[in-house]
């Protein structure tokens, strides 16, 4: 249903528009009838699934709190009317309306919804067991039975387990008891930040996901990823925390600092108990603290705090102090202070506290990629109850018994040799296991040892094969390798070190009593995970988060995401979780991710296409129109259309409804993948058209006046603008569908479900398919090229060629790593067309126009220059704009995220390609113009460009932009735009052909990523607050 008719008097705020909205809503409610009140949802937050409500009266109240995203399932006949009413009320997207399935399971993954409200007597209502399946761990189900609402918690589920500590539990033996988690099949949720360095571990329990994020302690729903609460920004990024029942134990809150001390961001303050449900804090003042000089950070050799809980005891260490507290009251039971040492890796095994003694030194202990002790003197055991020393066993690191390696250049002992450091302890079966290794280098003293936990006797010590000289990468990546006790065996699971070409390491099995090596695999895995920590469950070993080995050690590749160096992934509550990674060593999905192990539901091809009442419009694009995202199928961000010599501000219009203030909106707007209230614009056929990501809609404005022509709700959110062609507005939606709307009135012409399967997900705060489609599709010669999916190894990506007029499928291809492990590891993104018609995603996938797979490698040397796309995008950077100064940090410079293929010197944050001229905007705000000349002589094909700098403007000579977001070329002139990190101010600047500032205009908010377009002599800019602004001649 279309919201507004193309009438000059019918614009937002006009009397006619207001009357129409009122009448539409009243008629809808009258037709459906008022619903019974829903029960009180309580003080929580997250995803609410509602069944049995056929109007918006009650669900709109839930959404209005700002704490709940509502998924309202209704009979199919009600969907269109309710979506239109929701859009009129400004709640479409906060209340998502979908058809209640008439048969089969719901499309929701297991443990997804944070609250379920269902009238079991409603027609088509799923059975109680199905509603319980989709409810998150710890969720409440409000079920209306015989006219009465009953609230009951989700029943306990056998086979799932929590992950409460950094190293799983108080023993450090990281073998999760979760029997339901397995190799990920689909993404279940994604949240920001996408690229910053967050913490090095997570904790998951009771339906809560806990992590550090932007120096805060962040609690999310473990099932949907939606936020619950966030602490003050005083948590060190690699702080160690844990979930202890109904509370979180972490360090460093200035409001409750120990002894009045205000703990700095990089210091280790008091141990704080945070209420898991709401974040209220209590200081455990008797826990050890470490008041350091602010210039001597605890991460660089002076000790760092660790805490574990077991039974009724809380064991905490900080620097030289080791203490045991009563778990509930926090009263100190006993403490031991080293006169000249530091404690490392406290553990609880049965009735004993085990801890490592290290000397004080500049780099004695270190918390970086992984906790490490570079200098060790001894291992201690104390009685848990009384603190009496039971034994102390000398254990020296570096190992003095192993010779210093010989420097091959001098033939003498190396002056700065690589030596192994001790990793956190693993305690199991009456034994303390010790593992030493070195980061990405051979260490001759790398070893695995076992100490008897009863008397401290060193049972055995096994040196990993000559520090890695078996070419099996035993010791090269200390932040990947790990040891596990499982099934009466000790397992060593290597990672993926990158030294001398030996990427993947082995899995070795030891007799835990004798240290005899029972078996060893060859090097396994494709090396995608690099230095992500290996984990284990009762059924799987998970090498560097990406290679899964079953009990027979057969491997399953899932190189979709890896987490930060030293972090890896975390199996818990039937899911697998990773954190944002700043490393660019492999293509991977970004952000906080929760992945499910259930395959999606099948979609019958005959059910994919449906039609609406609309017809292709009479309006058609003309030459010079900006018909698609970045102007054209090649995404060059340039046009030959010229702007008037002098520009003045034209009309400005609010195209999107105001968001519902509250927790969910605040969280979504911290994310780099929050596009804004509107997308970038397209301008064609006398219209300016934008998508509204939060409001799940498309809006068309009159290009000359700004008057709204029409607005249409979409079945899913939209991340980039539609494409205009032949009287149609064609858009990809994040529910996995492609829709074609009439350009005249916005009515639906056809809809095609392009997703590989049916499964819901929560992506960056929006309810989507696990197989979303990019909003901007390619339309070429009457054909629509589309793609839907999240990652080739998370359910795959489906590619389709559709007939533009009818939506009928003409060709299809699905790339799935689950089906074919040779498929390139690739996150889905918008398609980009090369001059020869081939289609590209990122830097590693090329399809011919008939969807034949041409190459999984971006630029084979045999290719001709005509076969290459003009612009390459990576990491979905085309829709990213940073939200604070600390985002975007990486092991590689962000200026290489958009580029001209085969010209590696021509990569930038934003880029426009105008024939042989390339203009680049750096992430720091500088603008450079370069002229290209093709040189066929060099033997290396990717160096075939010669470049000449035409002009360059440093950022200081331009209007200030904290966050540069946009760059286009129009008629030889360059336009740049951006704004502040907060999004509350924006700027557009026009540069002459010679690179001189001609004019600059202030805007009410930051310009969205690539949010500029030119058509009909007008410059159009869209802002994150939903403003569409134009600039034209006087």
Angle between the N-to-C axes of helices 15-32 and 79-89, in degrees from 0 to 180, rounded to the nearest 10: 140
Which residue did the predictor score with more confidence, 759 or 370? 759
In a domain, 605, yes or no: no
Q: What is the pLDDT of residues 734-779, one digit of tens each?
A: 999 999 999 999 999 999 999 999 999 999 999 999 999 999 999 9
Q: What is the pLDDT of residues 555-591, one digit of tens each?
A: 898 989 888 878 889 999 999 999 988 776 667 888 8
201, 456 in Cβ contact below 8 A? no
By CB neighbour count within 10 A (0-12 exposed, 13-18 middle, 19+ buried), where does 334 fall?
A: middle
Q: Which of 248, 259, 246 is nearest to 286 (CA)?
A: 259
Mean local confidence (pLDDT), 300-305: 67
**What confidence score (pLDDT) does residue 893 get?**
42
The whole-angstrom separation of Cα 888 and Cα 804 is 38
pLDDT at 41 over 50: yes
The secondary structure of residue 666, as a DSSP letter, is H
Q: Is the CA virtual torsion 284, 288, 291, 297 positive or negative?
A: negative
For residue 589, the surrounding DSSP H or E stretch is none
Last residue of a domain, one of 532, 565, 596: 596
CATH number of domain containing 107: 3.40.50.150
Query: Is the bond preceding 193 in cis, omega lying within 30 degrees of 0?
Result: yes
How many domains does the structure of the chain reveal? 3
In a domain, 74, yes or no: yes
Mean local confidence (pLDDT), 945-970: 91
State CA 900 to chain mean position distance.
26
Q: Looking at 167-233, which runs of residues are DSSP E strands?
A: 175-176, 186-191, 203-205, 208-213, 216-221, 227-230
Which residue did the predictor score with more confidence, 54 or 887? 54
State CA 871 to chain mean position distance.
24
CATH number of domain containing 296: 2.130.10.10
790, 772 in Cβ contact below 8 A? yes
Residues 954 and 1011 in one domain: yes
Q: Which of 292, 315, 310, 426 is nearest to 371 (CA)?
A: 426
Residues 117 and 237 in one domain: no
Last residue of a domain, one of 566, 596, 626: 596
Q: Which residues contact 329 (CB under 8 A, 6 or more apart)?
A: none
User: Coil, strand, or helix at residue 933?
Assistant: strand
pLDDT at 859 over 80: no
In a domain, 977, yes or no: yes
pLDDT at 936 over 90: no
Residues 447 and 565 in one domain: yes
Domain ranges, residue 59: 15-153
In a domain, 281, yes or no: yes
In a domain, 7, yes or no: no
Residues 374 and 314 in one domain: yes
For residue 2, the surrounding DSSP H or E stretch is none
- Residue 257 pLDDT grade (very low, low, confident, very high; cuts 50, 70, 90): very low
For residue 17, the surrounding DSSP H or E stretch is helix 15-32
In a domain, 31, yes or no: yes
The whole-angstrom separation of Cα 837 and Cα 123 is 50
**What confidence score (pLDDT) does residue 365 get?**
85
Residues 590 and 621 in one domain: no
Residues 352 and 445 in one domain: yes
- Residue 215 pLDDT grade (very low, low, confident, very high; cuts 50, 70, 90): confident
**What confidence score (pLDDT) does residue 651 get?**
98
The whole-angstrom separation of Cα 943 and Cα 696 is 44
Residues 569 and 634 in one domain: no
**What confidence score (pLDDT) does residue 481 get?**
86
Residues 553 and 654 in one domain: no
Residues 302 and 275 in one domain: yes
Tracing tokens 């993948």 back to the chain, one arrives at 673
The whole-angstrom separation of Cα 748 and Cα 740 is 6
738, 802 in Cβ contact below 8 A? yes
64, 89 in Cβ contact below 8 A? no
The whole-angstrom separation of Cα 896 and Cα 908 is 5
Q: What is the pLDDT of residues 496-532, one digit of tens each?
A: 654 444 456 788 899 999 999 998 887 665 555 567 8
Which residues on neighbouring strands pair with residue 517, listed in sequence order? 510
Residues 589 and 631 in one domain: no
Which phi and psi (to 5°) does residue 643 adopt?
-100, 155
In a domain, 2, yes or no: no
Q: Looking at 637-715, which runs of residues are DSSP E strands?
A: 638-639, 648-654, 682-684, 687-692, 697-702, 708-713
Which residues on neighbouring strands pair with residue 555, listed in sequence order? 549
The whole-angstrom separation of Cα 187 and Cα 595 is 4
User: Coil, strand, or helix at residue 668?
Assistant: helix
Last residue of a domain, one of 118, 153, 188: 153
> β-pairing, 135-145 with 113-119?
parallel
In a domain, 797, yes or no: yes
What secondary structure does DSSP assign to 78-105, as a single string?
GHHHHHHHHHHHT-BTTEEEEEPPSSS-
Residues 205 and 233 in one domain: yes
Q: Is the CA virtual torsion 189, 191, 197, 202 positive or negative?
A: negative
**What confidence score (pLDDT) does residue 198 get?**
62
Residues 583 and 706 in one domain: no
- Residue 609 pLDDT grade (very low, low, confident, very high; cuts 50, 70, 90): very high
**What confidence score (pLDDT) does residue 500 get?**
41
Phi-psi region of 168 (alpha: psi -120 to 50; beta: other; left: phi over 0): left
**What confidence score (pLDDT) does residue 529 get?**
55
What is the Cβ-side half-sphere exposure of residue 364, based on CA atoms within 13 angstroms? 22
Q: Which of 721, 676, 725 is nearest to 699 (CA)?
A: 721
Q: What is the pLDDT of residues 97-116, one digit of tens each?
A: 999 999 999 999 999 999 99
The whole-angstrom separation of Cα 968 and Cα 641 is 12
246, 162 in Cβ contact below 8 A? no
**What confidence score (pLDDT) does residue 916 get?**
86
């Amino acid at each position: 249903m279309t919201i507004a008719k193309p009438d000059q008097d019918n614009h937002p705020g006009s009397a006619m528009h207001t009357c129409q909205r009122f009448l539409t809503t009243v008629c809808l409610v009258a037709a459906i009838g008022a619903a019974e009140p829903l029960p009180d949802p309580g003080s929580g937050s997250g995803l609410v699934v509602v069944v049995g409500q056929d109007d918006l009266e009650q669900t709109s109240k839930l959404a209005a709190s700002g704490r709940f995203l509502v998924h309202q399932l209704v009979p199919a006949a009600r969907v269109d009317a309710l979506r239109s009413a929701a859009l009129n009320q400004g709640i479409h997207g906060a209340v998502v309306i979908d058809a209640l399935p008439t048969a089969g399971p719901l499309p929701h993954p297991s443990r997804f919804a944070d609250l379920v409200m269902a009238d079991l007597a409603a027609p088509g209502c799923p059975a109680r067991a199905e509603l319980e399946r989709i409810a998150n761990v710890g969720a409440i189900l409000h079920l209306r039975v015989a006219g009465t609402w009953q609230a009951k918690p989700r029943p306990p589920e056998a086979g799932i387990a929590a992950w409460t500590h950094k190293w799983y539990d108080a023993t450090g033996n990281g073998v999760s008891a979760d029997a339901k988690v397995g190799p990920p099949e689909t993404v279940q949720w994604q949240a920001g930040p996408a690229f910053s360095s967050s913490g090095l571990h997570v904790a998951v329990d009771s339906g809560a996901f806990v992590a550090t994020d932007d120096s805060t302690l962040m609690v999310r729903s473990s099932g949907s990823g939606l936020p619950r609460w966030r602490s003050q920004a005083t948590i060190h990024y690699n702080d160690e925390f844990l979930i202890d029942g109904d509370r979180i134990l972490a360090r460093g809150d200035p409001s409750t600092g120990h002894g009045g001390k205000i703990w700095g961001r990089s210091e280790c303050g008091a141990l704080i108990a945070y209420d898991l449900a709401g974040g209220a804090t209590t200081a455990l003042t008797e826990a050890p603290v470490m008041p350091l000089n602010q210039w001597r950070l605890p991460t660089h050799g002076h000790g760092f705090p660790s805490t574990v809980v077991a039974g009724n005891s809380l064991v905490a260490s900080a620097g030289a102090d080791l203490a045991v507290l009563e778990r509930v009251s926090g009263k100190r039971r006993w403490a031991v202070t080293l006169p000249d040492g530091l404690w490392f890796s406290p553990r609880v095994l049965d009735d004993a506290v085990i801890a490592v003694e290290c000397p004080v030194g500049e780099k004695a202990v270190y918390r970086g990629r992984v906790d490490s002790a570079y200098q060790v003197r001894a291992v201690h055991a104390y009685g848990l109850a009384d603190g009496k020393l039971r034994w102390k066993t000398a254990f020296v690191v570096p190992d003095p018994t192993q010779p210093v390696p010989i420097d091959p250049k001098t033939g003498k002992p190396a002056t700065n040799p690589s030596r192994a450091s001790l990793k956190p302890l693993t305690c199991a079966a009456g034994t303390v296991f010790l593992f030493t290794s070195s980061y990405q280098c051979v260490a001759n003293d790398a070893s695995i040892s076992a100490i008897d936990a009863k008397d401290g006797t060193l049972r055995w010590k096994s040196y990993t094969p000559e520090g890695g000289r078996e070419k099996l990468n035993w010791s090269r990546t200390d932040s990947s390798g790990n040891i596990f006790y499982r099934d009466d065996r000790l397992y060593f699971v290597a990672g993926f070190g990158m030294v001398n070409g030996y990427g993947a390491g082995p899995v070795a099995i030891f007799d835990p009593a004798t240290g005899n090596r029972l078996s060893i695999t060859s090097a396994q895995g494709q090396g995608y995970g690099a230095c992500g920590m290996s984990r284990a469950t009762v059924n799987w070993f998970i090498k560097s988060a990406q290679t899964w080995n079953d009990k027979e050690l057969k491997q399953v590749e899932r190189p979709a995401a890896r987490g930060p160096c030293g972090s890896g992934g975390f199996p818990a509550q039937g899911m697998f979780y990773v954190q944002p990674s700043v490393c660019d060593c492999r293509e991977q999905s970004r952000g906080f991710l929760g992945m499910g192990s259930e395959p999606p539901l099948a979609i019958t091809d005959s059910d994919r296409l449906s039609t609406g009442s609309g017809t292709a419009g009479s309006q058609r694009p003309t030459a010079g129109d900006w018909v698609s995202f970045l102007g054209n199928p090649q995404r060059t961000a340039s046009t030959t259309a010229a702007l008037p010599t002098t520009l003045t501000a034209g009309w400005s219009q609010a195209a999107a409804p105001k968001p519902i203030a509250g927790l969910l909106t605040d969280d979504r707007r911290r994310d780099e993948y929050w596009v804004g209230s509107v997308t970038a614009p397209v301008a064609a056929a006398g219209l300016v058209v934008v998508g509204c990501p939060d409001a799940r809609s498309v809006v068309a404005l009159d290009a000359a006046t700004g008057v709204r022509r029409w607005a249409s709700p979409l079945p899913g959110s939209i991340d980039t603008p539609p494409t205009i062609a032949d009287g149609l507005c064609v858009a990809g939606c994040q529910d996995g569908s492609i829709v074609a709307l009439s350009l005249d009135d916005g009515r639906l012409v056809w809809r095609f479900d392009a997703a590989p399967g049916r499964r819901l997900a929560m992506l960056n705060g929006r309810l989507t398919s696990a197989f979303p489609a990019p909003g901007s599709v390619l339309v070429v010669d009457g054909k629509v090229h589309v793609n839907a999916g999240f990652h080739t190894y998370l359910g795959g990506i489906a590619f389709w060629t559709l007939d533009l007029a009818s939506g009928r499928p003409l060709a299809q291809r699905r790339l799935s790593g689950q089906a074919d492990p040779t498929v390139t590891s690739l996150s889905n993104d918008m398609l980009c067309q090369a001059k020869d018609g081939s289609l590209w995603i990122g830097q590693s996938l090329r399809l011919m126009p008939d969807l034949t797979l041409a190459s999984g490698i971006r630029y084979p040397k045999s290719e001709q220059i005509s076969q290459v796309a003009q612009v390459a995008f990576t990491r979905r950077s085309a829709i990213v704009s940073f939200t604070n100064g600390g985002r975007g940090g990486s092991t590689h410079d962000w200026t290489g995220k958009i580029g001209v293929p085969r010209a590696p010197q021509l990569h930038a944050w934003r880029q426009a390609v105008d024939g042989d001229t390339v203009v680049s905007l750096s992430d720091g705000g500088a603008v450079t113009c370069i002229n290209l000349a093709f040189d066929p002589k060099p033997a290396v094909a990717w160096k075939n460009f010669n470049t000449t700098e035409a002009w360059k403007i440093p950022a200081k000579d331009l209007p200030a932009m904290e966050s540069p977001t946009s760059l286009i070329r129009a008629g030889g002139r360059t336009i740049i735009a951006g704004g502040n990190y907060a999004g509350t101010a924006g700027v557009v600047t026009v540069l002459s052909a010679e690179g001189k500032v001609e004019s600059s205009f202030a805007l009410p908010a930051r310009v969205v990523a690539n949010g500029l377009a030119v058509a009909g002599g007008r410059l159009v800019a869209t802002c994150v607050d939903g403003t569409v602004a134009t600039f034209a001649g006087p």
